[in-house]
């Protein structure tokens, strides 16, 4: 595990504890940079949204076990400024699959994941995740949809004024989990990512790699059926990168479907999972 540089200032000054609604939204699924958010209606029933147990959300839309977990049909994403995110992408990923997404910087990897968790909408084509068309989802329906996803963001999106434990627990709390359930899940998840000794640290007191592992812990603590990990090893040394892939493999063996973007072809070569490459938004298969 990488060593940690503790910031003295951060250890002595306890940050302001208030959590802005947009930070809660990130965990409920209304991700911070959500281009669809401005169009989304405010949640009509906050209470329902907060108290629905996460396993209910997980079980929704899972009627057909043979249906793919992810299906993209002729999906293109052209951003307003004209830059191309994806070009006519067709992709099917079965439930329980594990897919690596590679490609150079700017090739569309994050765009693909954003489309899958509904932070961006396709310009063309259709996307379904766990048998649910995500095109028209907004507001609390989008939030409920996102509860079946664990997302590791490329830029972590940790809440700066919350400890490691709180950042990870917050994801469960936002889904309506009870205290006991949160406590039961928290410790083993932190142990899994090797951060039990940093549980009471704030993000500013962690190295980049440690923050990345908090982000991973937050994504997996609710054992979601679909994990979308955007460069989860981008800031890690080779041993920690292998450890992260081992964790994702373990969750995959337990039934989770996993999509991982990475620049690290060495890491990809060490596994036998299917690999796609994006190049200017165009998809090709490197290994099926
Ligand atoms: N919000 C946005 N507005 C306009 N253009 C965008 C936006 N997000 C991404 N793009 C553009 O879409 C293309 C794909 O970007 P994307 O972030 O998906 O690439 P990436 O493969 O994840 O890159 P990296 O490896 O650097 O993370 C790039 O040309 C990028 O500039
Ligand atoms: Mg990216």
- CB proximity list for 56: less than 8 A, separation 6 or greater: none
Looking at residue 85, its pLDDT comes to 98
Asked whether residue 165 is domain-assigned, the answer is yes
Task: Give pLDDT, residue 166.
Answer: 97
126 belongs to a structural domain: no
d(CA 201, ligand 1 centre) in Å: 32
Do residues 218 and 212 lie in contact, with contact meaning Cβ atoms separated by under 8 Å?
Answer: no
Write the DSSP string, 207-247.
-HHHHHHHHHHHHHTT--SEEEEESTTTT--HHHHHHHHHH
Predicted local distance difference test score (pLDDT) of residue 222 = 94
Q: Which of 190, 256, 255 is nearest to 221 (CA)?
A: 190
Which residues are near ligand 1 (CB < 6 Å)? 79, 81, 83, 85, 103, 105-111, 154
Question: Is 95 within 8 Å of 55 (Cβ atoms)?
Answer: no
Q: Domain of 198?
A: 41-67+94-108+147-287
| Ligand 1 atom index nearest CA of 261 | 22
Specify the pLDDT at position 135. 87
Which mutation among 33, 36, 78, 83 tests ligand 1's pocket best, with the greatest number of atoms within 8 A of CB?
83
Cα angle vertex 177, ends 128, 198, to 5°? 100
Residue 281 Cα: closest atom of ligand 1: 14
Lowest mean pLDDT among 43-57, 91-105, 200-214, 225-239: 43-57
Res 18: pLDDT: 45
Residue 12 lies in a domain: no
Beta bridge partners of 126: 73
In a domain, 84, yes or no: no
Task: Let me know if residue 79 belongs to a domain.
Answer: no
Asked whether residue 225 is assigned to any structural domain, the reply reads yes
Give CA angle at 280 (277, 281), nearest 5°. Answer: 70
Q: What is the pLDDT of residues 146-186, one digit of tens each?
A: 999 999 999 999 999 999 999 999 989 988 899 999 999 99
CATH code of the domain covering residue 241: 3.40.50.300
**What's residue 63's pLDDT?**
59
The pLDDT value recorded for residue 175 is 83
67-101: pLDDT as tens digits = 999 999 999 999 999 999 999 999 999 999 999 99
Flag whether 273 is in a domain.
Answer: yes
- Shortest CA distance to 247 belongs to which of 198, 191, 163, 167? 191
- Closest residue by Cα to residue 27 from 173, 128, 141, 190: 173
Residue 160 contacts residue 203 (beta carbons within 8 Å): yes
Number of domains observed in the structure of the chain: 1
pLDDT value of residue 7: 31
Is position 138 within any domain? no
Residues with Cβ within 5 Å of ion ligand 2? 109-110, 154
């Amino acid at each position: 595990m990488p060593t940690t540089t503790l910031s003295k200032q951060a250890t002595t000054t306890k940050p302001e504890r208030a959590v802005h609604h947009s930070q809660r939204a990130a965990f409920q699924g209304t991700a911070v940079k959500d281009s669809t958010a401005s169009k989304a209606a405010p949640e009509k029933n906050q209470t329902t949204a907060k108290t629905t147990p996460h396993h209910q959300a997980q079980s929704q839309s899972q009627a057909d076990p043979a249906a793919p977990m992810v299906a993209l049909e002729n999906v293109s994403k052209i951003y307003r400024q004209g830059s191309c995110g994806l070009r006519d992408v067709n992709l099917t990923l079965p439930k329980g699959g594990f897919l690596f997404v590679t490609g150079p910087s700017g090739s569309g990897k994050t765009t693909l994941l954003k489309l899958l968790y509904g932070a961006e909408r396709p310009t063309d084509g259709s996307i379904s995740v766990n048998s649910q068309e995500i095109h028209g989802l907004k507001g609390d329906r989008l939030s409920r949809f996102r509860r079946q996803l664990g997302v590791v963001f490329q830029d972590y999106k940790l809440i700066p004024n919350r400890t490691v434990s709180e950042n990870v627990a917050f994801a469960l709390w936002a889904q309506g989990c009870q205290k006991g359930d949160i406590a039961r899940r928290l410790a083993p998840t932190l142990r899994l990512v090797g951060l039990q000794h940093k549980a009471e640290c704030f993000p500013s007191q962690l190295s980049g790699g440690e923050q990345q592992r908090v982000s991973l812990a937050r994504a997996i603590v609710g054992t979601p059926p679909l994990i979308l990990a955007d460069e989860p090893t981008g800031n890690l040394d080779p041993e920690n990168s292998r450890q992260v892939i081992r964790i994702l493999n373990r969750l995959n063996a337990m039934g989770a479907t996993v999509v991982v973007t990475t620049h690290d072809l060495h890491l990809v070569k060490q596994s036998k999972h299917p690999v796609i490459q994006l190049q200017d938004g165009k998809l090709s298969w490197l290994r099926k």
